[in-house]
Chains A and B, each alone.
Chain A
Amino acid sequence: MGIETGTVMLSTIGPEVVLVLAALGIMMTDLFVKSDSEQPFLMWIGIVGILGALAVSLSVWGREVAYGFYGMVVVDNFATFFTTLLLIAGGLTLLMSSGYVRTQGIAPGEYYTLTLFAMTGMVLMGQSTDLIMLFLGLEVLSVSLYVLAGMVQDSRRSAESSLKYFMLGAFSTGFLLYGIALLYGACGSTRLADIASVLAQKQILKEPMLLAGMGLLLAGFGFKIAIAPFHMWAPDVYEGAPTPITGFMSVGVKAAAFAALLRVFAGSLSELGIQWKELLWIGSVLTMTIGNVAALRQTNIKRMLAYSSIAHAGYILIGVVAGGAAGTGAVLYYLLVYTLTNIGAFAVVIAIERKGERNLNLDDYAGIGSRHLALGTAMAIFMFSLAGIPPFSGFMGKFYIFSAAVKEGYIGLTIIAVLNSLVSVYYYLRVIVMMFMKEQAAGAEQAAIFFHPTLVSVLLIAVFFTVQMGLFPSSYLQLAQDSIKMFL
């Protein structure tokens, strides 16, 4: 590959630098924030930082590939795509946190700072071309999220969520590190490009150490993405974490981990494709099926969305298994539409949720569609989109994934996937049934819905893109294709 970059090239991590500066800015400003009404100021610092990072990131779109830190990070379209996606997800998360943080009594300074740190880690993951750097990004993001998951005050569930996430996260990190160590042992390098060139000589393809390393690496990623059978932590963690963070985890961590998964497996370990594709095929089927079937029985909306998010990881894995330009492009497009739709769904949950984990049961949604038509319609659009019903973007995402799978001859997998999405229709429809077709039980208190202006803006953005990306997906599909060109 000939990456002889003897320089640090700080500009390659421009977005990360801006994010960290903004995070530090929030930390400093927090010292001077005295009253509740000044809190939103902290969020706006974060938003400005994200916009700045976005500008830095987008300015290099389409430019020549640049390596930094002696070839440990890269700026290419693939990285830029994920950086942008993660920044958008993070930005929307901040916007929908503003009101939530106040009503839930969460310390705002720490909350926003940690969210930005988590984003930094995610962005770094998408840019890493070295397993060590990848690990570093993963840890930055994980440690921030361990804390964020436990930030709801006086909530046992939140504390449980944090501890559980930490324990299992640490466990999975062990897997990942061991996998990296074994790969290093087998290939003599942690650089993705070097590993690829060693494997290209095909001498060590049967080496047990290599295969074990690959398997452990896969398990490590599996934990982060919540691929069955490594998904057990997700529902509990998602349920207990502050709702905006749950939304952020369900899209951000997933996107970052998939970015790394693609770089490592589709990119560097492609010689071992037969082996890991088989594993991921099974993983995909298990993930979809377990996620969807378990979601059927949930009564708590956050748990339901957690299982739904597991199921969606299963669909995305189909794209990874299919591979090629179509499959990889489908993964990117799917992550994009899933991010915007799912963030929207969580924004609705936040609007309805009350302090003390109230109004999180599906029963609490009864009759909301008739009292707040706009909110109900927005949720209906997100649910239809997640269920994969046209003309919403979720359908286009699934269509693109399925078409890649059929193209590569995975027809059996596609049929399992469409049957799974049939199962998922049932629980997504249940939300709509609750909101529009049931009336609130007599005597139940009618909770005021919480329309914070920034939250409304998130809803509007999410609805707009969920519809627009479904009706006119062409430019986004092209974007996804442009992002993987240099990487394939």
Chain B
Amino acid sequence: MQNSVAEITLDIEKIRKDFPILHQEVNGFPLVYFDNAATTQKPKVVIEALENYYAGYNSNIHRGAHFLANKATIAFEDTRKTIAQFINSAEIEEVIFTKGTTDGINIVAQGYGRKFLKAGDEILISGLEHHSNIVPWQMAAEATGATLKVIPVLENGTWDINAGFKLLNENTKILAVNHVSNALGTVNPIELFIKKAREVGAKVLIDGAQSASHFDIDVQAMDCDFFVFSGHKMFGPTGCGILYGKRAVLEAMDPYQGGGEMIKEVTFEKTTYNDIPFKFEAGTPNIGDIIALKVAADYITNIGRKNIAAHINRLLKRATDGLSKIEGLRIIGTSENKIGVVSFLLDGYHPFDVGMLLDATGIAVRTGHHCAQPLMNGFGIEGTVRASFAVYNTIEEVDKLVKAVERLAARKRK
């Protein structure tokens, strides 16, 4: 039903005008940018926000007793308010600025995991995780004697729910899973698992890197303890992201880094830490990028995440339908519930070679293991070709991709 609404409300050509980078030729062809799961492009308003900050009010924030410092501090803290609304956190202070999703997960794995985990405890992740939601937990497990457990993945790229439920028990202290798989686009049934995690008393971290710009996020309704995402995958700058945490859990945690900003009082004998959010924001933060992140969040909210999702689903359906008809093409990840990503293999071609051949006609895709080597190993493959969509992509662009892959299939060499 949302589809019909979006078709009427979203003027994609108008949206495309907001993104200067899209209007260029690559290798003599108009750029078709289908690497959005890696990073999205930036609208003019975000680029201008960066320029305005550096040209107009660059200053270090908090404690500065002058005009520029005040202005920068207000803009910086405005982003916190906007993000709090963007994910519906109960309190503004529960929004911590980070470098990105990876940083957010590491803060929790080190600050919570290393403090509270002990031998015999279990951390439950899934077979669909990005390396950034595997390695920090392995490090925490190694340091504490806890064990990493993994929700198995079925042939269609979805969680094996029954097997996963058995792994979520009173030994589980942390459930850390992604909302949407970056490699396959599978939307995971996190609600079911969060509910079960609550029953067994496990803390929950949701990696929202691939979902924050597609779904209306309500961390209170979701009832997760932590929700992490990146600015650059939601039309914002690189190097900034968000760690949301429930106040009580954040207060119980150790800070991840020590330094300026995060202290209340320092003597050589003892330091007392600042309150949240500053306790987790040691050092001068990435002020300019975080200020511009507000503009990116507003940009998304103005278009409407339901509308964005509906458009992206249209693109995904068109791509899936078109690519499925190509002989020798195999889509990896065929869940009914997917968003934004189509991952595939083409007979007779290594994914790297498909990527380079598509680039020859201006189509940008990602090839390889997508930072999900265990998942690729599970499928018995080295990697895939991944096309991932954003709101500024068009049906015509999807058709170009399908035609280009058809041409490769027709030239199949072995």
Q: Do A and B bind each other?
A: no
